[in-house]
Chain A
């Protein structure tokens, strides 16, 4: 298994600003993902964070709005840029691929409120 931490756990931001969320895994994982969970909704995959290269984004998400970095096998960041109230959500990162297994382990999430 893998233990995943995220920082910050929550934040309140003004519209037009940007927030960077950090995700740290306690062991090397093959894949890291970023999800968004809007209020009362399920999880939607934003992108796959690729080590040392550009992230792979799902339909409806773009790099300019959600730039992602993954400099090594245990760390990734997601930036929410030029925020609007519609970006108020929980953002979660996950890791998988430890020892070849496909189980995803999730961080506790970052609760973002945009005013």
Chain B
């Protein structure tokens, strides 16, 4: 049972826009801690997608964007491409647990 809640799966057709939610609580996202996002291609290690202040590391296209409101965050992917098919993970810090927390991951399928 992950501390942050993500939908198990989302899907969209090429060119469409999808969003992936990440719901936390008052001890993590709701407490103001940043939320980070990772992309994990099949059989590969996670790769940083969104860092602090919703910045994208070099090489990450601007089709990927993130937002946060209250105790929830979301990742938006616009102009879906076949290469976006992967698992996406959200990550934050929890003051009650004094540790790092993740969502359970969301599998994106490009139809």
Question: Do A and B share a complex?
Answer: no
Chain A contact residues, CB within 8 Å of chain B: none
Residues of chain B having any CB pair with chain A under 8 Å: none
